[in-house]
Amino acid sequence: MNARVACVLAAVGGSLAQTQPSCESCHRAIVESWRASPHGNASRAASATAILGRFDEGHNLLESTKRPGVRFRMEQTGERFFQHGEAPGRKRSEAIDWVIGSGRRGQTYLYFKTGLLFQLPASWHVGTGRWIYSPGYDDGGMQFDRIITPECLTCHTTEARIEWAGGEMRYAPGAKLGLQCAKCHPDAADHAKQRGPSRWTRAESMKLCKECHGGVPGAREPAPDVHGNQVGLLEMSRCFKASPNLTCTTCHDPHRAERRVEVLSGKCVQCHEQQKCKQARDGQGCVGCHMAEQKSRKIVFQSYRSHRITARPGGQ
Ligand code: HEC
Ligand code: HEC
Ligand code: HEC
Ligand code: HEC
Ligand code: HEC
Ligand code: HEC
Ligand code: HEC
C-alpha cells in the first residue's frame, strides 16, 4: 500500500465516532437504534463486524462454473481481508477497504487504488450464505477494475467527494460513511432555525425518501428490486391517493428496521377495518396478500415487497 492510500484510509476510518456525540447526548435512544439500522450501516470501513462474508476454510471460495481453474479465495490476515483472484498463469490480490450494504440482502466490497475506489469481484449473498460474482461481473472473468463513481455513493454514504490533488482525481479524505443524522437532517445542528420533520409537509417527507428509494433514473416503470422504486409504487396506490397523510414513515421508522410483517400489517388497520375485507382472517396479516412479494428481475433468488397496495393481490 502506498503512502497516499494509507493516508486516505486513515482519514476515513473512525469518522462515525467523531460526528455523533452531539446528537447522542440528547437523542440517545434514536442514536442507539440508528447504529444498528440499515441506514446507519449502509456503508462502513472494513472490519470483522462489518464484513459478513466468510473467510474460514470451506466457505471462502468462489469458483467459476464456466472456466475451470479460475477462482477467488478470501483470506483474513490480522485486521486485513483479502480477495485473491487465481487463474492459470495469473494472480491478483486486493484488500477490502469499504463495505457497502448493511447485509439485509447482500454486501459488496470496495478497495482504494491511487485515491480512487474500485469494486471487488466477489460479493456476499446473505440469503444463500455464499460468495457470488458481483452483479454484472462475468463468471470466469478476473475483473478488479470496475470504478465506483460518486453517484454510486450518494445513496450509500453521507459524503464521499471527488477532488483534484496534484493534477489527479481522488476521493477527498474524511469521507463520512453510513447515512449519518446530517444526511436527512442537514440543519439540525441549529434547532432554533431548523424546520424539522414535525413541520414537514407530506411532499417534503416523500421527497427525502425519493432521493434514494425512487428507483434507477430512466427506468421504464416502477418495479420492486435491489434498486427498487418504492416511492413510485406507493404513489400509484389508492391508499396514497385517497388519504391526505400516508407517507413512508406511516409504516417505517427511518432510525430502525422493522421486519415483522405482523407489526407492519398493524399499520393497515390504523386506517382500515379488518371486517371490511371479506378475505381477511384473524392472525393472517394484510401485507401477505396486499403487498405481495415479487421476484427480482435482476437477481434470480431474490424477492421484494411490492409497494403498490392493491385490491388484486399478486397482480399489478
Ligand atoms: C442539547 C440537546 C440536543 C442536542 C445536542 C440535539 N438535539 Fe435535537 N432536539 C432536542 C430537543 C429538546 C428536541 C425537541 C424540541 C424541539 O423541536 O426543539 C429536538 C428535536 C429534534 C428533531 C425534531 C425536530 C422537529 O421539528 O421535528 C430533530 C430532527 C433533531 N432534534 C435532530 C438532532 C440532530 C441530528 C442532532 C445532532 C446534530 C441533535 N438533534 C442534537 C435536543 C437536542
Ligand atoms: C441517502 C439515501 C437514503 C435516504 C434519503 C433514505 N434511504 Fe432508506 N435506505 C437507503 C439505503 C442505502 C438502504 C439500504 C441500506 C442497507 O441495507 O445497506 C435503505 C434501506 C431502507 C429500508 C429497509 C430497511 C430494512 O429492513 O432493511 C427502509 C424501510 C427504508 N430505507 C426507508 C426509508 C424511508 C422511509 C426514507 C425517507 C424517510 C428513507 N429510507 C430515506 C438509503 C436512503
Ligand atoms: C439512487 C440511490 C442509490 C444508488 C445510486 C445506488 N444505490 Fe445501492 N441501494 C440503494 C437503496 C435504497 C438500497 C436498499 C434497497 C431495498 O432494500 O429495496 C440499496 C441496496 C444496495 C445493496 C444491498 C444492501 C443490503 O444490505 O442488502 C448493495 C450491495 C448496493 N445497493 C450497492 C450499490 C452499488 C455498488 C452502487 C453503485 C454502482 C449503488 N448501490 C448505487 C440506493 C442506491
Ligand atoms: C434516512 C433519513 C434519516 C436519518 C439518517 C436520520 N433521520 Fe431522524 N428523522 C427522519 C425522518 C423522515 C423523521 C420524521 C419521522 C416521522 O415522520 O415520524 C425523523 C425524525 C427525527 C426526530 C424527531 C422525531 C422522533 O422520532 O423523535 C429526531 C429527534 C431525529 N429524527 C433525530 C435523528 C438523529 C439523532 C439521527 C442520527 C442518529 C437521525 N435522526 C437520522 C429521517 C432520518
Ligand atoms: C393512512 C391511511 C391508510 C393506510 C395506513 C393504509 N391505507 Fe389502504 N386505503 C386508504 C384509503 C383512504 C383508501 C381508499 C378507500 C376508498 O377509496 O374508499 C385505501 C384503499 C385501499 C385498498 C383498495 C385499493 C384499490 O385499488 O381499490 C386496499 C386493498 C387497501 N387500501 C389495503 C391496505 C393495506 C393492506 C394496508 C397496509 C399494508 C393499507 N391499505 C394501509 C388508506 C390507508
Ligand atoms: C403500508 C405500510 C408501508 C408503507 C406505507 C411503506 N412500506 Fe416499505 N415495507 C412495508 C412492508 C410490509 C415491507 C416488508 C418488510 C420486510 O419484509 O422486512 C416493506 C419493506 C420495505 C423495504 C425493504 C425492501 C423490500 O422491498 O422488501 C424498503 C427499502 C421499503 N419498504 C421502503 C419504503 C419506502 C421508501 C416507502 C415510501 C415510499 C415505504 N417503504 C412505504 C410496508 C410499508
Ligand atoms: C387472504 C388474502 C387477504 C388477506 C389476508 C387480506 N385481504 Fe384484503 N382483500 C383481499 C382480496 C382478494 C380483495 C379483493 C376482493 C374482495 O373485495 O373480496 C381484498 C380487498 C380489500 C380491500 C378493498 C375492499 C373494497 O371494498 O374495495 C381492503 C380495504 C382490504 N382488502 C383491506 C385488508 C386489510 C386491512 C387486511 C388485514 C386486516 C386484509 N385486507 C387482509 C385479500 C386479502
CA-CA distance, 76 to 158, in Å (whole number)?
28
Mean pLDDT of 164-171: 94
Q: Which atom of ligand 6 is nearest to the CA of 210?
A: 35
What is the pLDDT averaged over residues 289-296? 87
Give yes or no: residues 219 and 244 share one domain: yes
Ligand 4, residue 27: give the atom nearest the CA. 35
Clarify whether residues 117 and 230 are in a common domain.
no
Which cell is 118 given?
474500485
Domain-embedded: residue 316: no
For 81, 87, 172, the CA distances from 147, given in Å and listed in that order, are 20, 22, 16
3-state secondary structure of 2: coil
The pTM (predicted TM-score) of the whole model is 0.94
Asked whether residue 59 is domain-assigned, the answer is no
Give the closest residue (by CA) to ligand 1 atom 12: 26
Total structural domains within the chain: 2
Q: Convert the pLDDT of each residue in 57-75 to its tens digit.
A: 999 999 999 999 999 999 9
Domain termination residue (choose one: 157, 181, 205): 181
Q: Which residue has the cell 375485507?
A: 277
Protein residues with CB under 6 Å of any ligand 4 atom: 23, 27, 30-31, 34, 39, 179, 181, 183-185, 197, 205, 208, 249, 254-255
- Ligand whose nearest atom lies closest to the CA of 256: 2
Q: Indicate whether 177 belongs to any domain.
A: yes
pLDDT tens digits, 20-57: 447 899 999 999 999 999 999 999 999 999 999 999 99
Q: 278 is written with which cell numbers?
A: 371479506
Question: Could you tell me if residue 217 is inside a domain?
Answer: yes
Distance (Å) of CA 166 to CA 2, 35, 245, 253: 16, 37, 52, 44
Q: Looking at the domain assignment, is residue 68 inside a domain?
A: no
For residue 23, give the ligand nearest its CA: 1
Does residue 222 lie within any of the structural domains?
A: yes
Angstrom distance (rounded) from CA 132 to CA 63: 9
DSSP-assigned letter for residue 148? P
Ligand 6 neighbours by CB, cut-off 6 Å: 209, 213, 224, 228, 230-231, 234, 248, 250-252, 259, 261, 264, 267, 287, 291, 304-305, 307
What angle is formed at CA 130 by the lines to CA 127 and CA 135, rounded to 5 degrees? 85
Cα of 27 vs its chain's centroid, Å: 24
Mutate to test the pocket of ligand 1, among 16, 158, 191 (most ligand atoms within 8 A of CB): 191
Q: Are residues 123 and 25 in the same domain?
A: yes
Tell me which of 181, 214, 231 is where a domain ends: 181
C-beta separation of 76 from 84 below 8 A = no
Q: Are 157 and 101 in contact (CB under 8 A)?
A: no
Range of the domain at 251: 195-305
Pair (42, 146) in one structural domain: yes
